[in-house]
Amino acid sequence: MEVTLKDVLNLAKEIPAKYLEETLERLQEIKEKSDSEEKAKGSSCPHCESEKIVRNGKRNGKQAYLCRNCGKTFVETATSAVAYSHSSETVWEQVIRDTVYGVPLDQTAADLDLNHSTVFHMRHKILNRVEQELLSNPVVLQGVCETDEAYILESVKGRKIPEGYHRPARKHGAVAAKRGISNEYICLQTSITGDGKAIAVASNRAMPSKEEIVGVFGDKIAEDTVVLCDGNPNYDALNESCTVAHTKRINKVNGFHSFIKARNRNARGFATIYLNRYSAFFSFIFANADTAVKEIYNLMTSRTHSFSTISCVRFQNLCNV
């Protein structure tokens, strides 16, 4: 059984008051033991890549190191996606787990005794880091793949609707004013391989054109790939890169659509500007939730110069369709 930070916090809340002092002393002993066993996250200095590093006290509760080569100091999370964060790695791992399993922000904030804005920024750093990883190492469509589009109701959650917008404001989770596909829906182009690797990219507010299909999938298709799709003839534009076959049996990609739509309903709609970020995240964790938490945790804590500011994360690679 995997023990999480929530399990420890929930148990701590039930401890009788007369045992609180003893519990605190025991936790302090465990923390001191952990500190004595700590090792540098990387085997080299992030500034000069020298391996001549030694411990150099603590900084904001994190182990600090001194490089004997360049003389610079750094903490264990330097240049990682969690650099300068005041939250421990245990808290980050719990936020990652809640993000993977679709736990609402307010519930995560309450469980970890954090501010809503803090958890929001942590979650979007996680989403942004996964998106950047997929942009750097995109999924390659090979073998037999299923491709289709899904339609997600647009949302301006977190913003005021501008004057002259094409529709009036509505409550979160409300339905579209028009029946069928309309300009209130965002087209999400998706594809999934036989082993569950997925791609999902928001393209426009209507059926995807040939140019948009080639723009999303064209450079991600390996040779001898067979793409199964529905009766949309625009997918024939991929024939130059692969073999396109039209069929009604595309259950795997439809399952991926159901997964995304279920998460969207649970959140009462994702803000459209962040749709590509969420889509990349869902592509990463689909059919891989058991190992996704550890993989994302390693991405967040690896010293690969992946650090970005909150301001950058909030405005980077926004979806504007």
pLDDT (tens digit per residue) in 203-233: 888 888 999 999 999 999 998 899 999 988 9
Q: Distances in Å between the alpha carbon of 55 and those of 63, 90, 186, 298? A: 7, 21, 51, 22
Which pLDDT belongs to residue 225?
Answer: 93
CA distances from 88 to 56, 76, 147, 236 (A): 19, 12, 40, 50
**Mean pLDDT of all residues belonging to the chain:** 87
pLDDT for 202 equals 92
112 in a domain, yes or no?
A: no
How many degrees, rounded to 5, is the angle at CA 238 between CA 208 and CA 148? 45
Looking at the structure, do residues 144 and 63 belong to the same domain, yes or no?
A: no
Of the three residues 59, 76, 93, the one that is the final residue of a domain is 76
On whether both 227 and 242 belong to a single domain, the answer is yes
Residue 44 lies in a domain: yes
Asked if 82 and 301 count as a contact pair (C-beta separation under 8 A), the reply is yes
Into how many domains does the chain fold?
3
Q: Tell me, what CATH number does 157's domain have? A: 3.30.420.10
Specify whether 61 is located in the same domain as 146. no
Query: Lowest-pLDDT range, 114-123, 151-160, 227-236, 270-279?
Result: 151-160
Same domain, yes or no, for 143 and 67?
Answer: no
Is pLDDT of 192 > 60?
Answer: yes
Residue-wise pLDDT for 23-77, tens only, equals 888 888 887 776 666 554 456 788 888 888 888 888 777 778 889 999 988 887 7
In a domain? residue 213: yes
Domain that holds residue 59: 38-76
Percent over 90 (pLDDT), the chain: 47
Instruction: Select from 42, 1, 65, 114 the least CA-distant residue to 305.
Output: 42
Residue 171: inside a domain, yes or no? Answer: yes
* Same domain (yes/no): 243, 283: yes
In this structure, which long-range contacts are made by residues 69-73, counting pairs with CB atoms below 8 Å and at least 24 apart in sequence? 69/45, 70/45, 72/45, 72/47, 72/48
Instruction: Specify if 113 maps to a domain.
Output: no
Same domain flag for 185 and 153: yes
Q: Is residue 294 part of a domain?
A: no
157 shares a domain with 52:
no
User: Could you tell me if residue 242 is inside a domain?
Assistant: yes
| Single pTM value for the model | 0.84
198/248 same-domain check: yes
Task: Report which of 91, 77, 97, 131 is spatially closest to residue 292, judged by C-alpha positions.
Answer: 97
| pLDDT exceeds cutoff 80 at 177 | no
Q: With b meaning 16 or more CB within 10 Å and e meaning fewer, what string describes 102-120?
A: ebebeebbebbebeeebbb
Q: In whole angstroms, give the CA distance from residue 166 to residue 118.
A: 33
Judgement on whether residues 241 and 206 belong to the same structural domain of the protein: yes
In sequence order, the β-bridge partners of residue 54 are 66
User: What mean pLDDT do residues 4-12 have?
Assistant: 84
Rounded mean pLDDT, 274-299: 92
> Does residue 103 sit within a domain?
no
58 and 20 within one domain = no
Residues 225, 269, single domain; the answer is yes
51 plus 162 within the same structural domain: no
